[in-house]
Structure 1
């Protein structure tokens, strides 16, 4: 049987290997060896799964429920180290697995004998364990049997981040090489069944083409590339130089770019007719945060339109004006495990569909957008009256009725909407549409080539987004935090402030993107020398370093002393030319906030 030692040794080797082809060859050889040793076992599949950094297949809803605190406690129990020693090791590496290797190094253990099957059994037991103590005991059991190197990668695997420069796509290629099959067939099977381990078994058995689509696992989302001007978008679509693109003829669908939460809705399965699953862009199941959408889509099967997978945006919705609410409002509901009737009333939500990925037993990704759009319109027209639910529900009856609701509950509203879309043919048309979208308080516009296929997980030039940034702000760094992974031990996350009327500095956000590695190294060295207070992972620093930052929008927030928070801030440049006395003020932040057409409506309390 395959040993976990083989996974750990290969992972350690790959962590120091930069060549993609060499990594692929090494993984392929290991998968092939695991299959040759025990062709009837699941070892080869588990090997591939663990190399990709996941304890369970994507279609498997089980979770380890083992957070950093539980893993740290187990590591301390096995290593005998102190909290101070663990903190120092973690601070040095920014990675619990690497810290664990340090703390366990030199410990005497029996020869490595932990098998992949035993690791899989422990993970399965953790997923069903009723208490933290039981899960902790299972982790301790694994670590006590593990060599320091095995412990390093067991911890990384349980955290879900191997940090060895291996993505699932590379493992899929390695499976194809190991089994001597086309990589496209492997990827298709993984996409349909969301089970990398099963794809290994199919690849060696020659049954990849027998894979069939399953609902209730997220497919990859197609992504859009940003453009700064209508002319740049026209140039990309037409192939004409930007100076001539203004007159170029293009053929693309244009939609408003909504400032909501990208999501997939899976529903209408014949075997589980009332089941609904809603997945976020990072493939998390967020269904419980949107019970009003779950109730509405639970009736799709009964309407005879399922099974279907929609791609779209969850929006906070103002039913009186027929417009999307700002993200700052919707954000109050995101991540809530329990959404009360009052929250449903305060922040009603809708699902704005803009693509159809699966319908009537057929995966539609290879169809051109023009055809997918036609099918989407037909499905939405059929379901719009069915996908309804109350604004609020009498929570005293909810337990007995499940997803059903009574006539005396709140006003019943439509929850499925079709994103308006039209063909555009010129840069001038795009510019006009952008202005109209902003006037509707939306972020900008999306442009999608009419003949484009849906490419899961890809950011190509077939889809583009035009949204112009607000004015930038000049801010001063007041604190810095150590990064993770390749930025471990480097102060790379910067908290920054603007100036109040009285001269005091008030924090307004935190950014960690936009600078080069060289600039970050210089910044980190500077922060070390100008530390005012060392709090371990975070340091307050002398407020002398000025940055220019961009951002998507500004929200009112009690999280920062300024009363505002920048959404998606990113550093444009270090302003060594600007003294701290000239940074922007809270009044300037307020001015930019008020200039936003999509800011939340403020009411007097």
Structure 2
């Protein structure tokens, strides 16, 4: 029996990776280490370097959060909650805190963990049901860990190694270790969704045998944001020039920018009839929240991977409902018949990545669009009638069915004036803005280029006052970088949101010192502070919410500047927030649908 490689050496390798900021050095370290291992250990190590206990196609999850890890760490390190909290605050990382606490013990363990033992432990933890069953398994793993092993065990369990190594760099290292082309490794990883299997193929020199598999999510292609029509035209023209085209030689196309949930639909596997998967951008399974979509696509027999948006939908008007309404469906283990009727949903498709047996990523958007429209023409009618067998009686008296599969409307771009007009029309329809896409663009998973642009103008800005400050994470662990803020309503201050982006490190350091000196209540990680600092914040829209005392929440707020010139008495009011809310074409309906968001 071949012994598995030492986990201590793996942990030390991660420490070495953390110590250098140079990408080429990291790649060389990874390649040399992977090459030194037996195939199965190299497969495990590659996966762990990428920061995940299981491959993308492996549906197992550890389901171990910070609370459980904190309990295990306190027990093994023999420290009080206060000592652990102080150590965490010094680093902003539980793994780094664990190494410090383990080093302070009188008798550090000698180790003995291997990559194989850790893999077996992860299998048991994933299979255990509930925190009570998982805690002793995690504790047992930590009890035999050295300080540096504990550091990287916790990071791995939390899914964030913080070594500066992404999966793409691991793929480059695999190529370097076994003399393969990086592009071949990347392609195999994309098609298989299984990094250990990619290692096995690379070792055997068989990367070309990788084939597309349904039911593992591909990375999504992203659009670059622009704030004005002029910026959109300038950047898009630059992209065309880079492709050797001119603005007159090739036209872009416009689509509405919908405010739903970006999702990837997988269906039609002939070997597994009826199987359907919906994945979010973070690769989460969305099926439980939208059972009618799973039912609608279960009858499709043509293999497909579609990129699109899940939208709350008004069948009678053919328009999307605001995200705040759709949000009520997210994360539910059980969606009631009443909710299905009250908040119907559709899948609005705007791209085809795989149809039949053909992978379309390298095809130009114009050709992918033709294939997409053909697929939807063939199958959309069937999705109007698909109702789960268990729902037939419940919905017998419901209104006639409507297609759950819709193609995103698309029109050719004619001019800058047309783009400006299209934006206004999209907003009037209740959508976020418009997308501008090159018909020549290939689909680049995980990439954000200029071939796709999204025009979303700021709705408004508000001047607010900070009422609470929270310590950040990672490199911001020792500074108060997350700010809760409020508007005024008479002599009251009512919170409307929380923001942590937009300021420089120097400004955050300055605010940290200020808030530490003006703390009203210190709750450890969070402080209630004197309402003295005014910020100008931008945001996408205003939503009804019971999370804040104002009854509203700003969606995607970001700090534009510190308003040293503005006294607290002149910050914006709750009436102004209500005015902005009422002016939104995409505000929630007022029949109680949007409450409680």
Q: TM-score, normalised by structure 2?
A: 0.94
Partner of 2:514: 526
- Residues 28-47 of structure 1: matches in 2 within 5 Å? 28-34=31-37, 38=38, 41-47=39-45
Partner of 1:139: 138
Partner of 2:493: 505
Offset of 1:405 from its aligned partner? 7.3
Write the deviation string for residues 329-362 of structure 1: whole angstroms up to 9, x where unpaired. 1111112221111111121111000000111111
| 1:364 correspondence with 2:360 | yes
| 1:220 correspondence with 2:223 | no
Contact between 2:111 and 2:145, CA under 8 Å: does it hold in 1?
yes
- Residues 88-127 of structure 1: matches in 2 within 5 Å? 88-107=86-105, 108-127=107-126
Write the deviation string for residues 175-205 of structure 1: whole angstroms up to 9, x where unpaired. 1111111100000000011011111111111
Q: What is the total number of aligned residue pairs between the two structures?
A: 583
Partner of 1:339: 335
Partner of 1:570: 558
Relative distance call for 1:220 and 1:532 in structure 2 (3 A) is same
- SS of residue paired to 2:382: coil
In 1, Cα distance between equivalents of 2:56 and 2:84: 32
Offset of 1:406 from its aligned partner? 7.9
| 1:435 correspondence with 2:433 | no
Offset of 1:112 from its aligned partner? 2.7
Contact between 1:311 and 1:356, CA under 8 Å: does it hold in 2?
yes
- SS of residue paired to 1:472: strand
| 1:325 correspondence with 2:324 | no
Partner of 1:9: 12
Contact between 1:7 and 1:50, CA under 8 Å: does it hold in 2?
no
Write the deviation string for residues 476-521 of structure 1: whole angstroms up to 9, x where unpaired. 0000011111111211000000010x22111000000111122111
Write the deviation string for residues 114-149 of structure 1: whole angstroms up to 9, x where unpaired. 110110011011111234333222211211111011
In 2, Cα distance between equivalents of 1:235 and 1:251: 14
Partner of 1:244: none
- SS of residue paired to 1:388: helix
In 1, Cα distance between equivalents of 2:141 and 2:535: 47
Contact between 1:295 and 1:404, CA under 8 Å: does it hold in 2?
no
Question: Which of residues 72, 75, 86 in structure 2 aligns to 1:74?
Answer: 72
Partner of 1:543: 531
- SS of residue paired to 1:526: helix
- Residues 270-281 of structure 1: matches in 2 within 5 Å? 270-281=270-281
Partner of 2:549: 561
| 1:386 correspondence with 2:375 | no
| 1:128 correspondence with 2:115 | no
Contact between 1:293 and 1:389, CA under 8 Å: does it hold in 2?
no
Write the deviation string for residues 394-452 of structure 1: whole angstroms up to 9, x where unpaired. xxxx7xx4687787363433111110012113212211211211111111100110100
Partner of 1:182: 181
Relative distance call for 1:99 and 1:300 in structure 2 (3 A) is same
Partner of 1:298: 298
Offset of 1:106 from its aligned partner? 3.8
**Greater displacement, 110-119 / 190-199:** 110-119
Contact between 1:446 and 1:466, CA under 8 Å: does it hold in 2?
yes
In 1, Cα distance between equivalents of 2:181 and 2:158: 32
Offset of 1:91 from its aligned partner? 2.2
Offset of 1:365 from its aligned partner? 0.5
Offset of 1:308 from its aligned partner? 0.3
Contact between 1:44 and 1:200, CA under 8 Å: does it hold in 2?
yes
Partner of 2:63: 65
In 1, Cα distance between equivalents of 2:447 and 2:420: 26
Partner of 1:376: 372
- SS of residue paired to 2:329: coil
In 2, Cα distance between equivalents of 1:190 and 1:404: 41
Partner of 1:419: 408
RMSD: 1.9
In 1, Cα distance between equivalents of 2:129 and 2:538: 46
In 2, Cα distance between equivalents of 1:223 and 1:327: 19
| 1:597 correspondence with 2:585 | yes
Gaps of 5+ in 2: 241-245
Question: Which of residues 439, 452, 456 in structure 1 aligns to 2:445?
Answer: 456
Contact between 2:313 and 2:344, CA under 8 Å: does it hold in 1?
yes
| 1:351 correspondence with 2:343 | no
- SS of residue paired to 2:46: helix
In 2, Cα distance between equivalents of 1:85 and 1:528: 20
Relative distance call for 1:168 and 1:604 in structure 2 (3 A) is closer
Offset of 1:239 from its aligned partner? 3.4
Relative distance call for 1:130 and 1:402 in structure 2 (3 A) is farther
Contact between 2:413 and 2:419, CA under 8 Å: does it hold in 1?
yes
Contact between 1:295 and 1:389, CA under 8 Å: does it hold in 2?
no
In 1, Cα distance between equivalents of 2:334 and 2:412: 41
Contact between 1:296 and 1:387, CA under 8 Å: does it hold in 2?
yes
Partner of 1:286: 286
Partner of 1:151: 150
Contact between 2:227 and 2:458, CA under 8 Å: does it hold in 1?
no
Offset of 1:97 from its aligned partner? 1.0
Gaps of 5+ in 1: 242-246
In 2, Cα distance between equivalents of 1:486 and 1:288: 36
In 1, Cα distance between equivalents of 2:47 and 2:421: 49
In 2, Cα distance between equivalents of 1:315 and 1:443: 13
Contact between 2:102 and 2:108, CA under 8 Å: does it hold in 1?
no
Contact between 2:337 and 2:394, CA under 8 Å: does it hold in 1?
no
